[in-house]
Chain A
Amino acid sequence: MKPFTYERATTPAEAAAAVVRHPGAKFIAGGTNLLDLMKLEIEAPQHLVDVNTLKLDRIERTPDGGVRIGALVDNTALASDERIRKDYGVLSRAIVAGASGQLRNKATTAGNLLQRTRCPYFYDTNQPCNKRKPGSGCAAIGGYSRQLAVIGVSNACIATYPGDMAIALRVLDAKVETVNAGGQTRTIPMADFHRLPGDTPHIETALAQGELITAVTLPRPIQGTHIYHKVRDRNSYAFALVSIAAVIQRDGRGRVAVGGVAHKPWRVETAEPAMPQGASAVASRLMAGAKPTHDNAFKVPLVERTLAAVMAEAKTA
């Protein structure tokens, strides 16, 4: 690990200002992903701003009947919260489908959104990777790509966004609240928060340098059956090959987002009116334009089959 200086933040805006002030600075909250990457020197911040002191760890009702989740609420606390379990079941389910108990106790809401890809070539510092070293190339294209993205890919990058929580947040139309060094706040819809790789796969989110996530808000609860179905190589403590977050009504209408297939949580709102017609009708619209590799072509039919399983489960729920 490269040496770094460390400070504890006092206010959200001051934390943002500290990151802007120090070149190569980063926020640290749970640290479960950042420290892993720092040990491998994939991340090498020269200064860390610890935001754990900012008291952003509460879950509260919003005036419009939704919920505001503080950026520092840990994954266990969020999945266990009575309001989340009752009204936003897809979110609780997505969180407990990810990582291990130890990691969920430490990982935060904001940090989970910002976790980096687990593409093996991003992790292997001997290989070219446009995400780790812009302009160096992509070893994943033409390499071992079974786990990697099949849609929204570019010639520069086929990495996937690895998380589960964000897939549920996308289907729930969550919003991300931030503050910058000047104290200005803004709200970013989940749809716009993560980016497709394009020519700049190292730029993964809509956040500016030093912009700090303060909360994630959920709109009023959506009625229907909440399901998160994750398909993976083993049944616990593994990243998704394909995952589906869905909220489905009694009449078959609903919404769906897919994980494990793209550089961001994958949702195509124009595919959703086809929900009552069945999985095939939805999946063909959701995955239109997919560009899988030889290794991961199985993910395209797997999306349809997983969606069919989710729809069948919703009918019996």
Chain B
Amino acid sequence: MIERSGIQATRRGVLVGGSASVALTTLPLGSAEAAPAVEPPKMKVSLQVNGKQATLELDTRTTLLDALREHMHLTGSKKGCDHGQCGACTVMVNGKRINSCLSLAVMHEGDKVTTIEGLGMPGNLHPMQAAFVKHDGFQCGYCTPGQICSAVAVLDEIEAGVPSHASASLTARPQASNAEMRERMSGNICRCGAYSNILEAMHEVAGTDVAGARA
């Protein structure tokens, strides 16, 4: 008999239930006499999220994204494709942006994670969040937390001199230009097509014009 209590078929439950439903289907189905299901392996992991220390005991299959959303209730980071293609799950780990859906939580022992909630909250917005509001950098908002985390990291990467496919020279310092920022944001997909407004928000925070010159 499969224990179904505690799983409610709400819209949100259906949307986020990917990992839970996979876990259910791996249990032996069929007769009540079936051998008792073996508990999937669990492990403890300690990490710092938005400045707060957390210790969780998780099924080893839990992604960092699911740990944040389902176990720490930080639902700002979104599950879009769950395959590292859309960028909605982007968070910063030890100062670098990654796709949290393509990373196991148990692989983050001792790491420092910053989510959209850690960048800023209503009343205390990060400058990038305020610029997205000002420039209308979103419509439905689903990709926005990932876009903002990525945008903040992109400006850091340009500042640090990380080259991109759009950089004319590998040795000159990259500029916060339209071409550079568009290329560097290509791992964040927005179905509403808010890209040009996102770019304006990024220019505002970078203090640059379309060519990347300091405004």
Contact = CB atoms under 8 A, between A and B. Distances in A.
A42 to B, nearest CB: 12
B82 A76 contact: no
B184 A31 contact: no
A100 B153 CA distance: 13
Contacts of B59: 3
B90 interface: yes
B60 A236 contact: no
B70 interface: no
A1 B102 contact: no
A1 B61 contact: yes
Contact of B60 (A5, A36, A99): A5
B170 A100 contact: no
B186 A236 contact: yes
Residue with the highest number of chain A CB atoms closer than 10 Å, among B98, B164, B188:
B98
A101 B181 CA distance: 11
A106 B98 contact: yes
Contacts of A5: 41, 60
Given A35-B63, A35-B104, A3 B187 contact: no
A8 B171 CA distance: 37
A236 B102 contact: no
A39 B63 CA distance: 10
A100 B171 contact: no
Interface in A21-58: 28, 31-32, 35-36, 39, 48, 50, 52
B97 A105 contact: yes
B40 interface: yes
Interface in B154-204: 154, 157, 160-165, 167, 170-171, 182-184, 186-188
B127 interface: no
Interface string A68-104: 0000000010011000011001001100110111110
Chain A interface size band reads 35 or more
B114 interface: no
Interface string A95-129: 01101111101100000000000000000000000
A97 to B, nearest CB: 5
Size category of the B interface is 35 or more
B26 to A, nearest CB: 7
Given A6-B106, A89-B170, A106-B103, A76 B186 contact: no
Residue of A28, A50, A105 with highest tally of chain B CB at under 10 A: A105
A298 to B, nearest CB: 23
Contacts of B26: 2-3
A153 B98 CA distance: 35
B126 interface: no
B89 to A, nearest CB: 9
Given A6-B106, A96-B163, A86 B171 contact: yes
Given A92-B163, A106-B98, A4 B83 contact: no
A1 B163 contact: no
Nearest to B106: A6
Contacts of A103: 84, 99, 102, 187
Contacts of B22: 1
26 contacts: A1-B22, A3-B40, A3-B59, A3-B60, A4-B41, A4-B60, A6-B60, A8-B109, A28-B104, A31-B104, A31-B107, A32-B84, A35-B104, A48-B60, A76-B96, A79-B163, A80-B163, A92-B163, A96-B163, A96-B167, A100-B87, A100-B186, A101-B153, A101-B154, A103-B99, A103-B187
Given A3-B59, A32-B99, A76-B157, 17 more contacts: A1-B22, A6-B41, A28-B104, A32-B102, A35-B103, A36-B102, A48-B60, A48-B104, A76-B96, A92-B163, A92-B170, A93-B165, A101-B150, A101-B153, A101-B154, A105-B98, A236-B182
